[in-house]
Structure 1
Amino acid sequence: MAKLPHFLVVPFPAQGHVMPLMEFSHQLVDHGAKVTFVNTEYIHNMLLSSLVDPKDGQQRRSGIHLVSVPDGLDIEEDRKLSKNLIYSMMNTMPRHLEDLFKKSESDDQKIDCVVADATVGWIFDVADKFGTKRAAFWPASLAVLALTLHVPKLIEAGVIDENGTPMKEEVIRLPHGMPDMNAFKLMWESSSIPQMREIILKFIRTISKAATVANWLICNSIDELEPISRDLVPSSLNIGPLLASDRLGQPTGHFWPEDSTCLAWLDQQPVHSVIYVAFGSTTIFTECQFNEIAHGLELVGKPYLWVVRPDITHELIPSFPDGFRDGVTHLGKLVAWAPQQKVLAHRSMACFLTHCGWNSTIEGLSLGVPLLCWPYSADQFHNQNFICDTLNVGLRLNKDENGIITRDEIKVKVQKIYSDEQIRSRANKVKDMQKGV
């Protein structure tokens, strides 16, 4: 029997990175390949827990070989995006990956290609030792990739220094088609995540090197969605949109079990009536901001489905305003995690209040849902501009003088998007455009 081509797939340990690479891995398996999917031990255990069938307590079977390696952090250490996690991974994971290479060769299952998230492109140094082909995977937009690859040129030209600080008091001019520099500065300056500047600049250096040494540069986008940016990164293979397909009994990259009871609830709601509110896997709110969201949904007075992760606030347990839960029973539904693609595809969807992560963005765009934009960090600010200014299929939510998005702002923007049929019409055109791929 002929040996199957063997891919070693390594994502960055965050849900927005794991999910598209998991879907890509399923597609490789569908085409007759063998895939070994490597997560850190912490993420590996979360994935296994999400695969437990609540009906019988048994773990579902997977067509992908899931393995884990240590990330170098102690059990009690915080694994939110931080420089500690990044440097610990760089110092710990390579030797464990070398062991996987050696084992694959002894088992006559030689690894033919490493597919690694570009943010962990240092893994290619291990692949090079074994003479293995390398594919760098970019999970965000093509435009942000183009800008990321351009930053070293800005440093070399003396436009910005090694810390990302402009060297001259003048407008930074970029090639046509790239996101404006203000949006990019937001990526590392206007974030609620500590040390974001250092983290993103480290990522930029890693990504630039990975793109240089990789045999292939793969992006989760499509030419039709970002035609101008396509010319800026001609070497990119655009294979998106990679959406978490309905793969019954197989891992989709979700870290938490999906609450599918919300689908039956959606069946009871009128067409284009429901506000879907979900801020991804890492967004964290202050208690004040969290309460403004709750009051805003009450003010709107429309059905809503709100994904409230247990860690969505700085408190151990999210604290709702007095009486809010009483109103939920007749107006809305709360879940800890939702089957997002099925939710967005539902006929009841009116709009999606989102943090503008790229996965959520392309899911909304692929399903023709108007978007209300509330970016949290990094490339999400560019995605907001892309949604609101380039495609014109969504609206921004603006902060007040205290940095809060108020209940009144939420009410006004939701009402506006409900009444604007042009936004929905444009959203459907974007949906149809992607169907033609």
Structure 2
Amino acid sequence: PLNATYMANQSIGNIAVRALVSEPVENPTVFFNIKNEQKEPAQNVKVRIVELDSTITTNEQGQASIELNNGKYTYSIDSTGYSSLRKEFTVFSQNLIINDSLVKAYNVKFRIVDTDSVPLPGARINVYPITLTSNENGEDSTMLPSGNYSLKVMLSNYMMKYPIDLLVEDKDTLYIVVMEQATTYNLTVNVKNTKGESLPNADVSLMGYGTLKTNNEGNCAFNGLLPGNIMGSVKYYNYIWGSIFVDLTSDSTINVTLIPEHYTATFYVTSKGNPIINAEIIIEGLDTLHTGLNGYAQSTYIPFGNNIPYTVKVKDYYTYTGTFDIWDTDVLVTVNLTPLGVDDNYDDLNPTIYPNPTTDFITVTGINNYSISIFDINGRVVYQNSNPDSKIDIGFLPKGIYIVKLNTSKGFSIHKVLKQ
């Protein structure tokens, strides 16, 4: 986290900012602080990490913790007398504190019957994000906190006779839902990403029929849909929303492919504090780019993920390979290259170019036996000499900013020169 504080008086026009940053953590710890409805610590609450099928229990202070690798996780809490809780969180190179409160819940029972009051088993009762299924008595129940809810009941060859506004008050409640016969069809939605991988726990919403979550195979089934045009959407964390539009005339299955959201990775390539021009950066399987005069290059098409491999190549430097993570935000990747043939005297390489600005000539001091290359602001070579004199005529060049690269047996140095 970046915690910035002002360190100067802005009223006189100067601003100084001190930024305190934390070191990346290899195996971050996630701390859960759970309280009850009276805002008191909730003891013996079981917190389940869904992806690991691992459960931890809160102590007397209502706290529990677990070490996790970087990534996206889901946790669930089920405690008697309280509503079920299920949320997602992301761990990314730093410890994480999650504060949550249990909410008092009440037993809500549903009884699904036909117009003759005969119980209907197998009906899907959707109170998002909860989905129930009626038993042989046409019943099922759940614990819900007080409030208003969207209620949708789906069953093949039936439709709800009357819409119901589900209002849960501070008491246990029974709702009787009457279904009437109708011509209906079933629709199965398969959700995958561009790699063909199934996306479990995606939200699939159909207009007029509510929202279901995909199972571990990345699909969900809507029963009891009326024939005609069906519209909806698919949402999944870190992906662009997908759309559903189908003219339903029979039981059908559709596939929805979601495209990952993309972020920007900025690379800064340097050597001993000097920017490296025209370094080639290969982001494996995604992009190839080159640094400009300031040593920066940017790729704006990076999907989220961990340990994304990249390689940096440039003449006269050792090739560098590494990985970076990108999750929920753009990233800056700094790469320090080592010159080929570098020796212990590399740090002593400190040539000087003067005058700067100049009109006709530049003079190089502090080194001997060097070669010189001069680049314009577009990175094109406008002058080269493998054995120049200390005084170099650049009067023929147009006015502007130029980058001067000096090459010696001890390494390289790069300088900016203004030609007036």
Do both share a fold (TM > 0.5)?
A: no
Greater strand share, structure number: 2
The normalised TM-score by structure 1 is 0.19
Q: Which has the higher contact order (CA 8 A, sep 6+)?
A: 1
